[in-house]
Structures are given as C-alpha cells and as structure tokens.
Amino acid sequence: MTPEAVAESVDADMLVELLQQAIAIPSVTPHERDFARWAHSQLSDNAWDRSLLAPFDDARANVYARVGRGRPSLVLAGHLDTVHADDWKSHWTGTERADPFGATIIDREIWGRGSADQKAGICAILEALRAIRRSGCRPKGAVTALFVSDEESGQPGSGVSAGMKAAIADGEVEQDQPPDFLVYTEPTTSAIYTAQMGFLIADIALTGQSAYFGRPELGVDALKAGHHLLTALWEHSDRLRTQPAHPLIGEAFLLVTEVRSGESIAVPGRFDLSLIRKVLPHESLDAAAQSIRDIAARVAADHGVEASVEFTAPRDHPVGGTPDETPAEHPAVQTLGASITAITGDAPRIEAAPYWSEKSFLSAIGVPGVYFAPGDISHAHTPFERVEIDELVAATRTLAHFVASWCGLEPAPTTN
C-alpha cells in the first residue's frame, strides 16, 4: 500500500460531517469536557490500539490515543477548547450564520466557532488515521494523539496550558525516548510553520501618593512617572527593532496595550499599564523579563514612586511562552513538504506562526515539531471563522500521506 493510496482513502463526505459534529459541541474554555468525551468516542475505533479520556481539575479532561510501536514515531496534537462566541450572534443576527455552533456550509466553507481553531485539525487527525486503517494498514512507527484542554486564553482562571502540563505529567509523551516528531494542528492555511515567536505579558504598577489638587506638593504624581515609564518602554522597543530580525518571524518589539491612571480632582497616586513583548528564538525569556523589571525600577527610583512588575501569562515558562524553531532541513519537515506536493502539486510553504501555541512544551522534552492544518488564523477568534472544504480535504489527505510516509505502514491485524 502506497502513501498515495492511503491518502485516496480519506472520505471527504465523512470528514465534513465529522467537522460539523465537532463544531456543534461548544467547548469554550474551560468547558471542554463534552467535546473531550466526543473526541474520545471517535478515537475508540480500530484505527487506534488504545484511547483514554483523562480528567483533570475536576471538570476538565484531555484525550490520548496510540497506535503502532516502532520508529520513526510521531505525535499528532491539538487543543479541545475554543474562545467564546459572545460577538458571533450579534454580528450575524437574522442570517444563516447566526448560530456559532451551527456549522453552516456556505459557498463550500464550514462556518462556526472552532471550525479553524482548531476542530478542523483534530478532525483531520481522526480521518487521516481512519484512512490508513480503511486501506488495510496501520502505522509501523508509533503514532500518539494528544488532545488537550486549556490552550486558549481570555477566560477567567484559564488559559495557562493546564491540559498540556497535565499530559506531560501523565507521561503520555514518552520522555526517556521522546517521539521523533510532532505535528500540532493549529491553522496554517496548509503551510508548514517551523517557527513560533515567544511572548511575555506584564502588568506594571507605579505607586505614588495621592493628594488634593490644591496641595499638590503633598503628593507624588504616579501619572507623571508613568509618562516617563511609557517613554522608556517605547525607546526599549525601538532598540529591539534595531537588532537582526528573524527571517520568518520578523522583529522583536514591545507593545503597550493598556494604560490606567487618574483620580478625582487629585494628584494621581497610581499608574498601571499592561504590555506584551514579542521574543525571538535566539532571545532569552528571562533576559527579556529582566529588562522590563530594570526599566520599571529605574523610572521608579528617578521619580520617587514604587514599582511592581507581574508577568500574568505563564505558559511553559514562569514569565510567558518560549519561542521555538525546528530547522526546515529536518527530515520530517522535508517529508511533510513532499506530502504536500504529492497531494496538491504545489511546493510547500515554509512560514512562521504569527501566534504562540504549545509545541514548545514538547520541544523542551526533545520532540521537534511544526504546526500544520487547514484554516486561516486571521479568521480565528472573530465572527468570520470558517474552513474551506477543499482545503480541509486536501490537508487531511496530506496528513494521511505524511503519516504513511514518515512512520511507514504494515498490514493491520485482522479482527473477527
């Protein structure tokens, strides 16, 4: 059985129906359990040797599955949760797109919350392995499916990669002999994203002394100090932009995202800001964080206020998310690129993620990887999220071809 024959075994109609079922199950962070149960039920077929629904944090769950035992080995990963759909209904009220979980098909596109980010990727994994089994084969190298909760941020008390941390702690990714490669199915418009930026998010508070406006000499103006803090941070960002840019990710920079200060007819005694810092693969998150602390401390000392810095979005690092890159020359990247060409006739596009996601967790334990899946990240988190059916089918066939090419094939055991 050839990889091309395996790819042809992908059932386009079943794949579309599968994605529609997935979209119809709301899984807004942190309410992923129903969708996790559905995913587990879909894995409980003869395409996999074992599957497991693994609850954590009382009301949430991850899903794991495995087939094959040899090498080269592979992890196929995705996240179960989506962002909220609060803005969807108001945007599409009175139209055929009004239900964010309706999975409506319009002009050969499937619309709905989570369609691209990233239920299309999860369904591509499910159907790719089913296509291999349908062709009478199974992967020779071990394939692990890893579907985790809590990737998305924005909901209170969530979005800290609790699911991925639990998966690694559970030992579902072998750390003594790590798998040889990872495909994490974040939407990439079917390009291969070999690199991702890192990031840190910081909240800085300057505390002075409020005083009645008629006696300003009794106060310490935190807003005035904040003006100097903003200037220092923007100058720091300008310096970052003078450093060599990454060929795929671009420049490092810092963006102030929110500022809060002021009191009623009084000297402002408090100044708060939030910022995000883009970190490149050759940079250190620790050093980036220390630069922020140093700037805040220097401004505070110069202007007689107190400064505190809190990093509010720890992921695989206490201050944020780690940048990551897998060389485009890696054999698995080359194999995936060849699978893209075999299915589409096009040369593969090697690009970088304009986002941070969780492949760096696995990179840290020795598993190099990429992002690859149908869907456009620029539509994610918006009322315009959708997936083109033709791209969905082509990407799933590409994934089936890649698994067959990278892991090899052997005859599936017969069952009564």
Report d(CA 78, CA 149) in Å as an integer: 9
CB-CB contact of 63 with 147 (8 Å): yes
DSSP reduced 3-state for 323 = coil
CA gap 33, 53 in Å, rounded: 10
Nearest to 183 by CA among 409, 403, 408: 403
Give which of 183, 150, 154 is closest to 164, Cα–Cα. Answer: 150
Single-letter amino acid code for the residue at 107: D
| Unique residue bearing structure tokens 């200037």 | 231
Amino acid in the structure at residue 269: G
pLDDT of residue 415: 59
**Residue 99 φ/ψ, nearest 5 degrees:** -85, 115
Q: Are 151 and 125 in contact (CB under 8 A)?
A: no
In contact, 375 and 189? CB cutoff 8 Å: yes
Whose tokens are 């020359």? That residue is: 329
Give SS3 for 332: helix
> What angle do the packed helices 12-23 and 389-407 form, to 10 degrees?
110
Q: Which residues pair with 325 in a beta bridge?
A: 195
- What are φ and ψ of residue 374, in 5° steps? -75, 165
Q: Are the CB atoms for 380 and 187 separated by under 8 Å?
A: yes
Collect contacts of 340-348 with beta carbons under 8 A, ≥24 apart. Answer: 340/190, 340/192, 340/398, 342/3, 342/4, 342/7, 342/398, 342/401, 343/7, 343/394, 343/397, 343/398, 343/401, 344/190, 344/394, 344/398, 348/191, 348/192
Residue 263 pLDDT = 79
pLDDT tens over the chain, length 416 residues: 899 999 999 999 999 999 999 999 999 999 999 999 999 999 988 899 999 999 998 789 999 999 999 999 999 999 999 999 999 989 999 999 999 999 999 999 999 999 999 999 999 999 999 999 999 999 999 999 999 999 998 777 788 999 999 999 988 888 778 999 999 999 999 999 999 999 999 999 999 999 999 999 999 999 999 999 999 999 999 999 999 999 999 999 999 999 999 978 999 999 999 999 999 999 999 999 999 999 999 999 999 999 999 999 999 999 999 999 999 999 999 999 999 999 999 999 999 999 999 999 999 999 999 999 999 999 999 999 999 999 999 999 999 999 999 999 999 987 54
What is the model's pLDDT at position 83? 95
Residues whose CB falls within 8 Å of the CB of residue 123, separated by 6 or more in sequence, listed in order: 15, 18, 19, 22, 392, 396
- Across-strand partners of 353? 196
Q: Tally Cβ neighbours within 10 Å of residue 366.
A: 14
